[in-house]
């Protein structure tokens, strides 16, 4: 006999995406300005409801694509938020995801959502529990950066060692000794030094590097502890 679930309450389930980007110096977060009530005109994460025919992962990818036009982007499920009064209009539970993208990529921001990049150290107060989601995402990102290589998704294909150091300093909100940082990175053996140089930083220029994808993925699979 099929179980009758009609006696149980039904709730709305949504996804919210914390979208991190890196511009070469600072870690950014992409926010949208609400164009409907409640909280119309205020800033929030990009989100949407999970459709009847999709998983939460599929919904998160759809939401991200709707805003940025990007596909096949790294997304990681973060947490669930189920406080009874987290939204005033209905009982809405949310599953959060965070993603890492290079802001220099060909991102076509959907003008419908009045989206804007903000510095992660200086962004407006968000609606509902979205600030909590961002805080949780930053902690997860820092843990990930301590236990696996970070940069494939946030840096251009070729980058300087300074670019990589800037990224780690932005993630951890700390300054590192240049020689110590380079020594730690080289010990990971995941970079390939090219013959090309970035001539914008100095007359002498800085060598460009790229990730060795095979070694990079092996490090991710094995795990490690990366401490500056």
Q: Are residues 185 and 89 in the same domain?
A: no
Distance of CA 76 to the CA centre of its chain: 9
Q: Would 153 be classed as within a structural domain?
A: no
CB count within 10 Å of CB 17 equals: 25
Contacts (Cβ under 8 Å, ≥6 apart) of 54: 62
Distance CA 123, CA 29 (A): 8
- Tell me, yes or no, whether 204 lies in a domain: yes
152 in a structural domain? no
For residue 201, what pLDDT is reported?
74
> How many C-beta atoms lie closer than 10 Å to residue 22's C-beta?
25
Residue 196 belongs to a domain: yes
What is the domain range of residue 79?
Answer: 12-147
Q: Assess whether 23 and 131 both reside in one domain.
A: yes
pLDDT per residue, tens digit, the chain (228 aa), is 788 888 999 899 999 999 999 988 899 999 999 999 999 999 999 999 999 999 999 999 999 999 999 988 889 999 999 999 999 999 999 999 999 988 877 688 898 999 999 999 999 999 999 999 999 999 999 998 888 778 888 898 899 999 999 999 999 999 999 999 999 999 889 999 999 999 987 778 899 999 998 988 888 788 767 776
* Rounded CA separation 182/108 (Å): 35
Q: Is 0.75 topped by the overall pTM?
A: yes
The pLDDT value recorded for residue 4 is 87
- Domain shared by 78 and 165, yes or no: no
Q: CATH code at 197?
A: 1.10.10.10
């Amino acid at each position: 006999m099929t179980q009758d679930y009609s006696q149980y309450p039904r709730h709305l389930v949504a996804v919210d995406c914390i979208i991190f980007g890196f511009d070469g110096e600072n870690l950014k977060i992409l926010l949208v300005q609400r164009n409907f009530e409640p909280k119309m005109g205020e800033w929030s994460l990009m989100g949407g409801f999970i459709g009847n025919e999709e998983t939460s992962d599929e919904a998160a990818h759809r939401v991200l694509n709707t805003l940025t036009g990007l596909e096949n982007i790294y997304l990681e499920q973060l947490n669930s938020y189920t406080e009874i009064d987290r939204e005033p209009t209905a009982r809405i539970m949310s599953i959060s995801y965070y993603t890492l993208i290079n802001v220099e990529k060909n991102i076509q921001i959907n003008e419908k959502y009045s989206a804007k990049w903000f510095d992660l150290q200086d962004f407006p107060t968000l609606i509902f529990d979205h600030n909590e989601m961002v805080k949780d995402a930053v902690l997860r990102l820092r843990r990930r950066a301590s236990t696996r290589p970070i940069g494939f998704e946030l840096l251009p294909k070729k980058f300087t060692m300074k670019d990589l150091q800037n990224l780690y300093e932005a993630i951890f909100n700390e300054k590192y000794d240049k020689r110590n940082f380079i020594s730690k990175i080289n010990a990971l053996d995941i970079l390939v030094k090219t013959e090309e140089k970035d001539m914008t930083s100095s007359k002498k220029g800085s060598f460009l590097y790229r990730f060795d994808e095979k070694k990079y993925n092996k490090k991710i699979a094995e795990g490690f502890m990366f401490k500056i």
